[in-house]
A = this chain, B = another copy of it.
Amino acid sequence: MSAPGGRATSAPLLGRDEEPTIFELSKAGRRAWSFRTGGFPETDVEDLVPALHRRPDPVDLPEVSERDLVAHVTRLSSRQFSVDLGAYPLGSCTMKYNPKMCDAVAALPGLAGVHPAAPASTVQGWLALLVELEEALCAITGMAGATLQPAAGAAGELTGLLLMRAWHEAQGRPRHTVIIPDSAHGTNPASVTLGGYQVVTVASDERGCVDMAALHRVLDDDVAGIMLTNPNTLGLFEEDIAEIAAAVHGVGGLLYYDGANLNAILGVVRPGDMGFDIVHMNLHKTFATPHGGGGPGAGPVAVAERLLPFLPGPRPVRVAGGDGDGLAYDWQVPSRSIGRVHGWHGNALVLARALAYIRANGADGLRRVAETAVLNANWLRHRLSGVLDVAYDRPCMHEVVFSAQRLRRAYGVKASDVGKRLLEYGFHAPTVAFPLVVDEALMVEPTETESPETLEALAAALEAIVSEAADDASVVTGAPTSTPVGRVDEARAARRLVATFDARPPAGD
């Protein structure tokens, strides 16, 4: 059977020629730029910039014709895999299809052409959009209010921790530790440190969930809170969440929800109802805004009622009955705001895409998203159960973690080798080496936008790779060979750092 989203043919990835850098394509005097005719007097730079400040030589930038710029960048794009080319079963990252309609929204001149410092009276549409998004996100998470400023998940985490800190300080009892399960994503501990807290790690138990006994051992009144992902990064729902919430709240701590896995529970269960006080969302995961090769994202943070006064500001708000100036929407700084966490109002055009996605799906559609994401993951888990070891052999939520430990022991084939070989079957690799609690983890999140045919093609490819490992491991460990470049020497990159064209050793070196 053919696999629409899965037989991501590797076509664009098989070029074996190097593409020169734009610096090598440059020839002094070529030019692509043109500006509006301003009609201002011709004035020399010397007359415009005092000598003290004047740059002696112009910045050396590539000089290319528009034609050559286009060819270069188009060819670079042809060396790049993407969701639009095929499936990305990449755990924790929710690489779902990014609707083109949302691109059209982000391109609207009435949204894209708006200056962020324009008076509120002139940006009522944007303010309305942000307020509506905030309300929708609160409805989805079961929280009371949200800030849309954080630019990504990690920024949301830090914002959440600073809210936690402000809240405890307001209670007059600053605390010093934050609990994190050992399956947590690396941003969590990094954010905890930046929030000024010590990380206390709790182990996962044999179910892959928070070990309740271990949790109780570390809970004391110096605990500011706990950060959890639920379902967690093993794709498993923390069934004891109510008990966890009670325990943490019991010592006066707060619960932080890392929303990376929110896709699994849309419309099914809400972080607020589970007892969480602070929730970040990754709009570039759950709400289908494109990853852009690594960003931009958006990481709004929603909070419970009691944390509202601490939210970053200024916040866009609805003005009941219009304010003094007759505005329907305006900016407002919460009374005990922790302050700004973004230069402006957040990644606004990403936020607009997310609102469009939410409106298109609606309440019914969002629940179907979660259902189908979970269905797909479980189907894959079941389909591959005789093929790869499942790290935790029980029904999963939106993602499933396999272990290649057996392949490594038997044939020297690591999880990362399986991932590299999978590239040659036209799929992106799963997430490997995460979560840390699973040896040789292969973390697969199919998302709801991949069809059953695609899942079957993915399963068949993994099955084939396992056979290859047994037959001739070098096929797997030597992969990929048909991609634009073969396996990349990562060690050398770090050892002999060349991070700019100018740091490149002279030819022949």
Contacts and interface: CB of A to CB of B under 8 A. Distances in A.
Interface string A1-40: 0101101111111111111100011010010000000000
Contact of A15 (B9, B17, B75): B9
Contacts of A14: 11, 14-16
A323 interface: no
A339 interface: no
B4 A25 contact: yes
Contacts of A12: 11-12, 15, 75, 78
A65 B7 contact: no
Given A10-B15, A11-B17, A84 B65 contact: no
Interface stretch (A66-74, A216-224, A229-237): A66-74
Contact of A78 (B2, B64, B85, B450): B85
A211 interface: no
Given A72-B4, A78-B78, A17 B426 contact: yes
Interface centre among A4, A8, A17, A100 (most CB of B within 10 A): A4
Interface in A448-468: 449-451, 453
B85 A4 contact: no
B86 A71 contact: yes
A69 to B, nearest CB: 8
A400 to B, nearest CB: 21
A97 B66 contact: yes
A150 to B, nearest CB: 28
Contacts of A72: 4
A185 interface: no
Nearest to A21: B2
Contact of A27 (B74, B84, B450, B451): B451
Number of copies of this chain in the oligomer?
A: 2
Interface residues of A, number: 47
A449 to B, nearest CB: 5
B85 A75 contact: yes
A99 interface: yes
A316 interface: no
Interface in A186-216: none
Give the most central of A5, A16, A20, A27: most B CB within 10 Å. Answer: A5
Interface in A95-122: 97, 99-100
A79 interface: yes
B11 A68 contact: no
A10 B20 contact: no
A24 B451 CA distance: 14
A65 B15 contact: no
Nearest to A23: B2
A65 B451 contact: yes
A10 B15 CA distance: 6
A294 to B, nearest CB: 20
A5 B78 contact: no
A66 B426 contact: no
A259 interface: no
B85 A5 contact: no
B25 A17 contact: no
Contacts of A449: 65, 67
Given A11-B79, A79-B11, A4 B68 contact: yes
Interface of A: 2, 4-5, 7-20, 24-25, 27, 30, 64-68, 70-72, 74-75, 78-79, 82, 84-86, 97, 99-100, 426, 449-451, 453, 482, 484
24 contacts: A2-B24, A4-B68, A4-B71, A4-B72, A5-B71, A7-B17, A7-B19, A8-B75, A9-B17, A10-B17, A11-B16, A11-B19, A12-B15, A12-B78, A14-B14, A14-B16, A16-B482, A65-B449, A67-B450, A68-B451, A70-B84, A70-B97, A70-B100, A75-B86
3 nearest CB pairs, A to B: A11-B15, A4-B68, A14-B14
Given A4-B25, A9-B17, 17 more contacts: A2-B20, A2-B25, A4-B20, A4-B67, A5-B67, A5-B68, A9-B78, A11-B12, A11-B78, A11-B484, A27-B453, A65-B449, A67-B451, A71-B85, A74-B84, A75-B86, A78-B85
